[in-house]
Every structure is written in C-alpha cells, then in structure tokens.
A and B are shown apart, each in its own frame.
Chain A
Amino acid sequence: MAVTGIIFSNMHDANIPQLTRVRTLASVPFGCRYRFVDFTLSNMVNSNINNVYIIAHNNYQSLMSHIGSGKDWDLARRFGGIKILPPFISAFDARERTLYTSRLEALKSVYNTLRHIQDEYVIMSDCDVICNVDLNDILRDHIANGADITIAVKRMRLTPEQARSNVLFKTDESGRITDVKANPVQFSGEANVSLNIVAVRTEYLLEIIRDAVTYNYTSFTRDIIRRRMGKMNYRVYNYDGYFACVSSLADYYRCNMELITNQYARESLFRMKDRPVYTKVRNSSPTYYSPDSSVKNSLIADGCVVEGTVENSILFRGVKIGRKCTVSNCILMQDTFLGEGVCLKYVISDKNAVVRDGRMLAGCEEQPYYIDKGKML
C-alpha cells in the first residue's frame, strides 16, 4: 500500500518547556540514545512508509541537524525519502506573518506541497508518539471498516495533569467516535487516549484542508472531528501495546526510568522483531567501565566512560563520569561531563552540561533537578 507520512514536529512543545526551550519536541532526547522523532520515523520506515514530510515550526535547527539527509533512517531516497517543510510565510502578505498553532493550520500552510502527494493514503503522526507499532495494522483497520478517519487510541488511566494535555475519545461498540474531549480540565480515570496517529485517504485530507481554509477552521479535533463525527465514519483503532505518554517533565522522567525497571516497556520499544529503532549514527566507541567503576540497574549508550558509581540511571552517548562520583536516579544527556567526586540524585542534565569536581545536586522523583544545555556548574 502506498502511504505518505506526515510528522508534526512542534505539537505539545509546551508540555516540557525546559527541554523544548532550545529545540523542537521532535528532537528532545529520550530513551538513552534516541530523540522523540526517532520512534515515529522508525515506525514509518518499518511500516514501509518511505515518503515522509516533517512539518517544522520554530527552533528546528536541531531537528535538521539530527535528521541530516535521512540516511540513518534509510530515508535518503532518490524518489520520496524525508523532507522537512519549514514554516511558510509569505513576504508580501502581512496577515500571514504569524506561525500556525495547530495541526490543521500547519497543514494549511503546506497545502501546496501536500497537493502533490501521489500515495493513496496519508498517516499523520505527532513527534512524541513513543511506541513501536506497525502502522499497517492501523491502515488495514481503516480500510476494512471503510472509515473516513481512523485515530489510534490506547485505553489507559490518566492523572488530571496528563488528561489536560491529551485528547480523549468515546466510541460506540463498533469503534465509531461518539464524543471527543480535547485537553479536558479536571478529568481523571480511564479513557481512550489519542496516540495522535491518524490514518486518512489523501483526497479526503486535502478536502479537509480546503474546507479549513474556506471556513477558517483551526482545530482538527474541534472543527473537523467534533463537527462532523455524526455524519462521517470517524473511528478509533485500539492499540494495546506499550505507549509512553509524556505530558510533563515528571512524565518524561518516569517514562525514561520505566525503560530500566519495566522489562515489558523496554522490550516492546527496543526488541520488536524486524522493527529496530533508528537514530543518528555517531560512531562512538563502545562504553568503557574502569576497574573502580560500579554500575547497576542502568541503561547506558555507547561512547561513555564510567569511573564512578552509577545506579538507576540513564546515560546518553558520550557521558563521562569521573572518579568517586555517585550518580543515582539521574538522566544524563549526550556528552554530559562530571568531574571527580560529583554527587547527583534525581538530576536531568541536558546536552553538554558540565559539573565540576565535588559538586552535589539533588532533586526528587516528582521534581527532578534540571541542568540547562551546555551549563557549567
């Protein structure tokens, strides 16, 4: 089946403001050696979707440097492959000088590119969909049920905080959408949470975009799904595999840590047969553990040098842990450097952070201490 993928790189940036201050949500590091977008891109490539557009918004330099030619996801193709669509702003029309804020507006702004899609179907995905799913399952379900739009959902228990940053669906017994709540306030309990993966026929998507321009619709959920669900066959696809729902820094911390503590999570993300997760290749050497090091219960990427003690932590590529350091319950991103005798507990350090000899820093599980990108302490 010929399918084009569209990825929104900036939706939900506000969920983790600390990590998206200098980058798109798509390029937020996750899972020890990946970026958020790696999971979505790998899902697409592993489902034979070889024509992928990433719609960028702002701060997308880190995204572009991460993706490069797309080679590392096998998406550097003569035909198709990956294309980044930067924000489209007309130089002559003052009214157009604001950037989009919603999916539908994002699609409107790149309508002229999408018009040329030749594949029959489109699968749209947000960039923070952390799961390893065969998108063809969703598409097959979409076609078999003669759906107009199919949205993947997972039934899960939500805290009010998580509910506020998610879209929840109610359906009838056949799976047809009967109600939709976007970012509900004060909701808690079990619900069908949108994974923000949408399957739709290309022609129908283009029609929606044209309508959106004509009637000035801005929200896909409110203006399309909610308005039309009575008339059209909008359905959900029930996904029951692992899905990490990251709606805040605390969620981010918890979902990362889950990869150490929860074997099911780790294997459903990393060890699916024939569905590896791809990321930018860095050609780091393997990680070295010194004779004095002591490491347990940790997930560690290539290129690290560990001379101290590490427990219950995640070390991204190229992290250096000096002698006599104790690191517990931390997430240290790419090239974090710890001098000697540093003590960290519940710390998230962003890329290239440096902590000098003897410093002690601690957060707690609900509120990890965050060190800015490149900060020297």
Chain B
Amino acid sequence: MYKKTECVAMLLAGGQGSRLYVLTEKTAKPAVVFGGKYRIIDFPLSNCIHSGICTVGVLTQYQPLQLNEYIGNGQPWDLDRTASGVTILPPYQGKNGADWYKGTANAIYQNLDFINRYDPDHVLILSGDHIYKMDYSKMLRVHKEKGADCTIALLDVPIEEASRFGIMTTDDDGRITEFEEKPPKPKSTKASMGIYIFRRSVLEEYLKRDEADPTSANDFGKNVIPAMLRDGCRLYAYPFLGYWKDVGTLHSLWEANMDLLGVVPNFDISDPKWRIYSRNNAEPPHLIGESGRVTDSLVAGGCEIYGVVENCVLSGGVRVAKGALVKDSVIMQNVEIGEGATVNYSIIDADVTIEAGAVVGRAKADEENVTVVGSSALIKAGEKIPGGVIVAEGYAREHG
C-alpha cells in the first residue's frame, strides 16, 4: 500500500568518513556517536519528522551493521509507519549485475523505483553527516513558490573555507547563475550544504542522462547540478541561517561536540519544540559522587563520576574514578577512566578502559591535533599516550 506523498527524503548514509580514522573503522559515519546520547544520523532523521516528512529512504553502503541496527524500523523517530516511514536501501543485485553506489547521483538513480512508488512531486536529498536543525518544509515551500526545478540550501561560509564546498553565485531573486564544486579560487562565500530539493520529473530525467554518460563521476555537485545549469533549468538557493556543521574530520567532530556546551550554547539540542530523537538505551540516572566535580559539561545517563570533569561531553555509562581528571574531551559510551588518570583534549571511543594513573593526550593548544583512542582499546596503568596520537581500535586488548 503506497500513498501519494508530496515529498520523499533520500538520506545518503553510505560514506566511509575516512577522515574520522579509527572512529569509522567498524561503523559508518552517520552512526558515529555525537553529543552524549545521539548519533549523527539522528539530526537529519529528527529534522525530517519535525518537517512533516515521513517517507525517508536511507542509502547505506559502508559498514552498515551498526547503522542498520540503529535505524531498525524507525520507531525512535516516529518513522515506523504503515504506508511510509523509514526504509534502508542498500546496494543490490539487479538483472544486469550488481553495482555498488558509484556516487551520490548514482545511488539515487539506483533507487528511482523506491521513489516512484510514492509518486512524489519533489525529492529531498540529504546527507547523513551534518549536525544541524532545519525545517525542510520551509525550504519546500520556497521551492514551490519559485517554481524551481531544484533548490539548494545555502550557507554563508568564511572565504578561507569556501574551497571545501560547492560554491554558487546567485542573482537578486536567489536564482543560481553559477555553481562550482570545490573551486580552488572561490568567487563567493555561498556554499552548498548538500541539501537539495528536486522536482521529481526533472531529477529522474537528469539522473538517467547522467547515468548514460560514461565520463560522469555520478555526483550531484560535480555533474548533475552543472548539467542542469547548462540547460537553463530553474535552480534556486535557499539561504539557511543557523548552526550547521560538517563533522567529517576529527577536529570538526570534537568542535561540534564542544559547541553543545554553555548556558547559551552555539548549538542548542534541548529545545523542547525540536527534540532530537535517538534510540534509547534504558540507562539509569547518572551519579556524581562525594569527590566528583563536573563543570561546563554535558553528562548522559548511567555515568558515575567521582573525579573531575571539565568542559567535556560524556556519553552513557562512563565511569570516572576518584582523582581522575578529564578535560576538553569527548568520551563515548561505557568508557572507564581509572583512579588518578588524566584525559586531556581527546576523543575516546566506546568501551575504552583507561587504567589508573594513565595519561591520554596533552592540554589543548593551537595547532595541536586532538588525541583519539579507538573503541575497546586498553590504556594500561601508568601508560602515556602523547598528544595528537590516534590509538587503534582494540589496542592492547587481549581477545578471546
């Protein structure tokens, strides 16, 4: 049973996220833990449901186990629906052979059948690695008002960062006149956020054309958008004012976590009208012991803190023993930090044990890289992990 749906969302969640190194060794980037009790994909999924979009295809490819398990039937986001909801779309074997998703555009092309079942007028393309809150229904309204073939969400970025993005030039009406993917010499600071709304018929036509072109990289920014511009399609920019962060690198992931701190944080995740939904772990409340001291930090359920925690984001079930100091760090679930240990300016992945007296990382300074410890690693008593180092997943842990 499929009902006609005005707008279907397609969430690209297959990226490897290689610049997150050990954090994405065994998991896709959208399933990386963020903000104490979330995963990155919670943000676009929560945005969808708050924007009234309840048909979402999630395209997975790289290390999908955790991601598939996490999304499940979509219940935590209210996306377990009878005639729509969330659907996981992995690459598949077709009549003419099996194909991995070659690029963003190809991934959508391979799932045109999924889109067409709902007979939508518009298709929203999202990516699963951005942290932001956005009402897509407002963007859709503008898209319809302008009679656009494609609307691209636009963010003003500092000029020095502009060459990392697709950069566009627009006229007074917001119509896009030029679009360049990752230009070495950017002409403006109007960056594409990788969020597109296409008129479905136009999308289908251009995806088919793109597929027929053997020289194409099958990428929206590199191929599809420029081809539409060349043909004089109506492309509009939708300016977005608000917090948006691409958490593709270790530093930006750390930074985005830190942006959640503060009485008035850079990015507010506690708005009762725009709750970020996530899969729940039934953690008990957290305990701050007699000797514990927690300041300027976010603490999730199940933590037990007897040491000092400053300027940190702590996920569920973290234990900080007496005399330990944890500063400027992002600690993921079930990490144990032993007596007198020090963790400074680090990202510690899940299930890591840091034994008594161990030292991880160095105090934050300019140009210093964040220290990262992969999941399930064991940092032995008294061991010193120097600043900026990346410790492998399962390090020093005897298996079996």
Contact = CB atoms under 8 A, between A and B. Distances in A.
B278 interface: yes
B376 to A, nearest CB: 19
Nearest to A278: B282
Nearest to A266: B287
Interface string A257-294: 00010000010011100001111010111111111111
A303 interface: yes
Interface in A27-77: 31-33, 71-72
A285 B285 contact: no
A102 B297 CA distance: 49
Contacts of A288: 261, 263, 265, 270, 297-298
Contacts of A286: 35-37, 298-301, 313-314
B285 A299 contact: yes
A298 interface: yes
B285 A290 contact: no
Interface string A293-305: 1111111111101
Contacts of B288: 295-298, 300
B102 interface: no
B290 A297 contact: yes
Given A71-B75, A286-B299, A302-B37, A294 B293 contact: yes
Contacts of B284: 31-33, 266, 269-271, 276-277
Contacts of B295: 289-294
A126 interface: no
Nearest to B306: A296
Contacts of A32: 284-285
Main secondary structure of the interface of B (DSSP, over half): loop
A289 B297 contact: yes
A307 interface: yes
Interface string B21-54: 0000000000000011100000000000000000
A283 B276 contact: yes
Given A276-B282, A285-B270, A295 B294 contact: yes
B255 interface: no
**Looking at B76, B280, B286, B289, which has the most chain A CB atoms within 10 Å of its CB?**
B286
Given A286-B37, A296-B289, A302-B37, A291 B282 contact: no
B75 A287 contact: no
Interface string B296-338: 1111110000000000011000000000000000000000000
A285 B265 CA distance: 13
Interface string B359-373: 000000000000000
A293 B37 CA distance: 22
A290 B76 CA distance: 29
B275 interface: yes
Nearest to A292: B295
A301 B301 contact: yes
Interface in A127-158: none
Nearest to A42: B282
**Looking at A266, A278, A294, A302, which has the most chain B CB atoms within 10 Å of its CB?**
A302
A283 B301 contact: no
Contacts of A292: 295
Contact of A291 (B37, B287, B296): B296
A289 B280 contact: no
A283 B270 CA distance: 9
A45 to B, nearest CB: 11
Nearest to B302: A270
A300 B285 contact: yes
A296 B298 contact: no
A266 B287 CA distance: 10
B385 interface: no
Contacts of A72: 280
Given A283-B275, A289-B296, A289-B297, A300 B270 contact: no
Nearest to A279: B282
A72 B37 CA distance: 17
Contacts of B85: none
B153 interface: no
Contacts of A271: 284
Nearest to A302: B301
A270 B282 CA distance: 10
B263 A300 contact: no
B91 interface: no
A6 B1 CA distance: 38
Nearest to B42: A283
A87 B297 CA distance: 47
A291 B294 CA distance: 8
B233 to A, nearest CB: 40
B109 interface: no
A260 B287 contact: yes
A296 B291 CA distance: 7
B392 interface: no
A296 B36 CA distance: 20
A307 B289 contact: no
B179 interface: no
Contacts of B282: 276-279
Contacts of B286: 287, 299-301
Given A291-B295, A293-B294, A281 B280 contact: yes
Contacts of B294: 289, 293, 295
B381 interface: no
Nearest to B261: A288
Contacts of A314: 285
A296 B290 contact: yes
A295 B301 CA distance: 16
Contacts of B280: 72, 281, 283
B296 A285 contact: no
Contacts of B254: none
Contacts of A307: 263
A291 B287 CA distance: 18
B292 interface: yes
B36 to A, nearest CB: 4
Which A-B residue pairs are the 8 nearest by beta carbons? Answer: A270-B284, A286-B36, A32-B285, A276-B282, A286-B300, A285-B270, A291-B296, A286-B298
22 contacts: A31-B284, A31-B285, A33-B284, A71-B75, A72-B280, A266-B284, A271-B284, A276-B284, A283-B275, A286-B35, A286-B37, A286-B300, A290-B295, A295-B293, A296-B291, A298-B288, A300-B286, A300-B287, A301-B285, A305-B263, A305-B270, A314-B285
Interface of A: 31-33, 71-72, 260, 266, 269-271, 276-279, 281, 283-303, 305, 307, 314
Given A295-B292, A300-B287, A300-B299, 7 more contacts: A266-B287, A283-B278, A286-B301, A286-B313, A288-B298, A299-B287, A305-B263
Interface of B: 35-37, 75-76, 261, 263, 265, 269-270, 275-278, 280, 282-301, 313-314
